[in-house]
A and B are shown apart, each in its own frame.
Chain A
C-alpha cells in the first residue's frame, strides 16, 4: 500500500514546464493526439509503396520505414552477403531508383517519414532528399526522422558497419548538415527499444539510452555546434513493456532525468533542448507464438501505458509477430488498437491523469534513482563508449535476459499460454508469405541499373566521396551527389569500409 508519505518531495511540476515530468506539452493530447506511426516495409519497393498508400488511406498519420538487413548493413541486394535476407525484415533499397518507387504518388511535403536506419542513415537521408528534389519539394519542406543511433547497435541490434569513431563522425555530419539544410529533420532518435528487447530492465533502459544520448550531445558539441542549435532535433525511442505502472513511471522518470542533464551538464538554454520527445513501440518480446490472439490484449495494455506516459508517437505491434511478418489484416488491427485508445477510451481528455498518484510518483522517483546509479557507474568507466567497448552494457543486458528466462521456467513469472493456462490447440494464423523470386529479380534490376546509368558521373562522385572521407569533410553533400548519379548503397559502403575499416564484435559468453 502506498500513501501520502510515498513519492513525497517528488519534482512533479507542471505539464509543459521544466523538468517535464508530467509531459512536454501543457495540453498534451487535448491539444494534439500522438502520431500513429506503424513500422512497415517489406519485399520490394513496389509492395512497400502499396502498403504505405493503404496505411495512409486508413488514417495513419506518418510513415515508418523498415529496411531489410542488407540495406541496413550496406550491401546491395545482389551482394553474396545478402543471401537469404533480401526484402525480409523490411524493404530492399540499393539505389535512388528503389527509393523513387517507394514514394511514388506520396508527396514528401505532405507526410513525415521515420526511417529505422543507423549505419547507413546518412545515405538513406541522402536518398530521401534526392527523391524530394525529383518531386520538386524543397528540403526545407520535408520532415522526418533517421534513427541514426549507432551506439545501441554495438550493444543490442547489431547493424553496425564501421568502428565507433568514424560512426560518430557520420552522425555528427548528419546533425550539422540538417541544422543548415533540412531544419525539419529529426537527426537522431536515441533508442532504448532494442536494448529492452534484448532483455534489460526498465531502469537500465532509461540509463543506457540516456548514456548514448549524452555521447551524441558531446560529439556534436565537440564539432563546435551550439547545443541549442541541434538538441531540439534529438528524439528518443522507447519500448513499452508489460509492467503497466512501471512503464508509465519509466517515461516520466526519463523525461525528468534528461531535462536535468541537458540543463546542468550541457548548459542548454532553450527549453526545447531539455524536452525528451519520444516514440514508443509496444514490446515485441512480450508477444507469444502460443495463443496469438492474446497478443492483442498485451499490445493494448502496453499502448495504453505509453499514452499515459505521454508518448509523442506510437507503434502498436501486430498479434502474429512472434510467428512471422504481420499480415495486412493483423497490421490493420494493430492500428485500430491505438485508434480506439485515442478516440474511445477517454484517457486523452486529461493531461497526465496518473500524476500525483502516491505509487506512480514514488515509482518515478525510484526509477530515476536507479537509472542515475547506472549513469554514474558508466561515467566512472569513462562514458558509454568505454562501457560498450569493455562489454559492460552487453553483459548487463544478457544477464538480465537469462534471469528472466530462468524465472519463467521456474514459474516465478507467469506468461499466459506459455508456462500457465496452456492449450494444446495449435495457433491458426494467416501469415504473410514473401515471394521467393525477389532475390533473382533484384539481381536483374541492379545489373540493368549499372548498365543504364552514366558510369563516368557515378565513378567521379564516388571518388570525391572517398577523398572527403579520408579528410574531415562533411560527407552529406558528397553522398547526395553520389545517390543522384545512381551510385548504390553497396558501392558507397565499399568505399567507406576501405577508408574507415570494419567493426568486429568481440563476443563471448
Chain B
C-alpha cells in the first residue's frame, strides 16, 4: 500500500479565551488517532489563525472558543479564508456554543460544531471521513 501523508489538523484558540482543556484534549486525541496536530496555544486573532493554517498547509482547522465570542471570531476566520483563497480546508468548531449559533455558523461554512460531551472518537471519525472525501 502506498504511504499517504497523514491528515494534518490545526487546533486553534480564537480570541482572548483561555479555556484550553477542550482544545488540548481534542488535539491529543486526534494525534493519538494518527493525525498530525498543530496547536496554536491561547489568544489568537482570526488573522493569526488563517496565517498559521496557510503556513502549516493543514487539511483541517478546529476552532475553539468558550467565551461567547465565537460568532464574531469564527465568522471572521471564514471571511479571511475566502479572502486568502484557502480552499479545501475543513473547518469545525467546539466550545460553549448555543444551538441557534451553531446553525448560523454552519451557514458560514463551518462544517460541524461539537459541544460539551462530544466524544473524541466521533470527532476523529468525522475529520478523517471529511478530509478523505475532499482529497479524492
Residues of chain B within 8 A (CB-CB) of A159 are 16, 18
B18 touches A157 (CB 8 A): yes
Q: Is B54 an interface residue (CB 8 A)?
A: no
Cα–Cα, bound, A402→B39 (Å):
15
A297 at interface by CB-CB < 8 Å: no
**Do the beta carbons of B21 and A198 come within 8 Å of each other?**
yes
Query: Quick one: CB contact mask for A43-79 with B, threshold 8 Å, 1 for yes?
Result: 0000000000000000000000000011011010000
Whole-angstrom CA separation of A69 from B43 in the bound complex: 11
Contact with B along A63-104 (1 / 0, CB 8 A): 000000110110100000111110011000000000000000
Q: Which of A173-181, A311-319, A501-509 contacts B (4 or more CB under 8 A)?
A: A501-509
Instruction: Say if the beta carbon of B51 comes within 8 Å of chain A.
Output: no
Query: A69–B120 contact, CB under 8 A?
Result: no
Query: Are B116 and A325 in touch, CB under 8 angstroms?
Result: no
Q: Are A402 and B24 in contact (CB under 8 A)?
A: yes
Report if A323-B98 is in contact (Cβ < 8 Å); known contacts: A89-B68, A409-B119: yes
Q: Is the CB of B69 within 8 A of A158?
A: no
Stretch from A12-20, A282-290, A347-355 forming part of the interface with B: A282-290
Q: Does B34 contact A (CB under 8 A)?
A: no
User: When the two chains form their complex, are residues B73 and A84 in contact, meaning their CB atoms are under 8 A apart?
Assistant: yes
Pairwise interchain contact A509-B116, C-beta atoms closer than 8 A: no
In whole Å, how far is B41's beta carbon from the nearest beta carbon of chain A? Answer: 4
* Nearest-CB residue, chain B, relative to A198: B21
CB within 8 A of A73: which of B16, B28, B68, B70?
B16
On chain B, the residues within 8 Å of A81 by CB distance are 16, 45
Residues 133-155 of A contacting B (Cβ, < 8 Å):
153
By the criterion CB–CB under 8 Å, are B117 and A288 in contact?
Answer: yes
CA distance A418 to B115 in the complex (A): 11
CB distance from B58 to the nearest CB of A (A): 15
In the complex, the answer to whether B21 meets A285 with C-beta atoms within 8 Å is: yes
For window 488-509 of chain A, which residues contact chain B by CB distance below 8 Å?
Answer: 505, 507-509
A89/B37 contact (C-beta < 8 A), A69-B16, A402-B24, A509-B24 known: no
Q: How far is the CA of A199 from the CA of B20 in the complex (A)?
A: 10
Q: CA separation between A287 and B117, bound complex, in Å?
A: 9
- Residues in B whose Cβ lies below 8 Å from that of A84: 15, 69-73, 76
CB contact between B28 and one of A75, A402, A408, A505 (< 8 Å): that residue: A402
Question: Is B86 interfacial (CB 8 A cutoff)?
Answer: no
By a CB distance below 8 angstroms, the chain B residues around A157 are 18
Contact A83 to B17, CB < 8 A, known contacts A288-B116, A402-B28: no
Closest to B69 in A: A84
Chain B contacts for A386, CB-based, 8 A: none
Chain B min CB distance to A162 (Å): 14
Interface assignment of A434: CB less than 8 Å from any CB of chain B? yes
Contact B39 A508 (CB under 8 A): yes
Once A324-B98, A409-B121 are accepted as A-B contacts, the answer to whether A509 and B37 lie under 8 Å apart by CB is yes
Asked if B117 and A507 make an inter-chain contact with CB atoms under 8 angstroms apart, the answer reads no
Please measure, in the bound complex, the distance between the C-alpha atom of A144 and the C-alpha atom of B131, giving whole angstroms. 53
Please give the distance in Å from B112's CB to the nearest CB on chain A: 15
- Closest B residue, CB atoms, query A73: B16
Complex Cα spacing A419 to B120, Å? 12
Interface residues of chain A: helix, strand, loop or mixed (majority): loop
Q: In the complex, A468 Cα to B76 Cα: how many Å?
A: 40
CA distance A323 to B18 in the complex (A): 17
Sorting the interface of chain B by its residue count into under 10, 10 to 19, 20 to 34 or 35 or more gives 35 or more
Mark interface residues in B62-102 (1 if CB within 8 Å of A CB, else 0).
Answer: 00000111111100100000000000000000001011000
Q: Is B7 an interface residue (CB 8 A)?
A: no
Q: Specify which chain A residues have a CB less than 8 angstroms from the CB of B16 in the assembled complex.
A: 69-70, 72-73, 75, 81-82, 85, 159
Q: Does A474 contact B (CB under 8 A)?
A: no
Q: How far is the CA of A398 from the CA of B22 in the complex (A)?
A: 10
CA of A158 to CA of B67, assembled, Å: 12
Assembled-state Cα–Cα distance A321/B29 (Å): 25
Q: Are B15 and A402 in contact (CB under 8 A)?
A: no
Whether A322 lies near B29 (C-beta < 8 A) is: no
Residue numbers in B under 8 Å from A398 (CB-CB): 21, 24-25, 28
For residue A426, CB closer than 8 A to chain B, the reply is yes
- Across-interface contacts of A199 in B (CB, < 8 A): 21, 25
A401 within 8 A of B: yes
Asked if residues B31 and A509 are in contact (CB atoms below 8 Å), the reply is: yes
**A93 CB to nearest chain B CB (Å):** 15
Q: Which residues of A contact B128 (CB under 8 A)?
A: none
CA distance A146 to B41 in the complex (A): 27
Interface flag for A197 (CB, 8 Å): yes
The verdict on B27 contacting chain A, using a C-beta distance below 8 Å, is yes
Chain B residues near A323: list those with CB within 8 A: 96, 98, 115
A121 CB to nearest chain B CB (Å):
16
Contact check, B25 vs A401: say whether CB atoms are below 8 A apart.
yes
Q: Which residues of A have CB within 8 Å of B24?
A: 398, 401-402, 509
B25: contacting residue among A322, A402, A426, CB under 8 A: A402
Chain B residues lying within 8 Å of A69, measured Cβ to Cβ, are 15-17, 67, 69
Whether, in the assembled complex, A431 has its beta carbon less than 8 Å from a beta carbon of chain B, the answer is yes
**Taking the complex as formed, is A405 at the interface, i.e. its CB lies under 8 A from any CB of chain B?**
yes
User: Considering residues A72, A83, A323, A505, which has the most beta carbons from chain B within 10 angstroms of its beta carbon?
Assistant: A83
B-chain residues with CB within 8 Å of residue A75 when the two chains form the complex: 16
Q: Does A261 contact B (CB under 8 A)?
A: no
User: Could you give 14 example pairs across A and B, Cβ below 8 Å?
Assistant: A73-B16, A75-B16, A83-B73, A83-B76, A84-B72, A85-B16, A85-B17, A88-B69, A157-B18, A398-B25, A401-B21, A415-B117, A508-B39, A509-B39
Using A398-B24, A509-B37 as known contacts, list a sample of 11 further A-B pairs with CB atoms less than 8 Å apart, ordered by residue number in A. A69-B67, A89-B68, A198-B21, A199-B25, A289-B115, A322-B117, A398-B25, A401-B25, A415-B117, A505-B41, A509-B28
The chain B residues found within 8 Å of chain A, CB to CB, are: 15-21, 24-25, 27-29, 31, 37, 39, 41-43, 45, 67-73, 76, 96, 98-99, 115-117, 119-121
A-B interface, 7 closest residue pairs, ranked by CB to CB distance from nearest = A158-B18, A84-B72, A84-B69, A507-B41, A88-B68, A69-B16, A418-B117
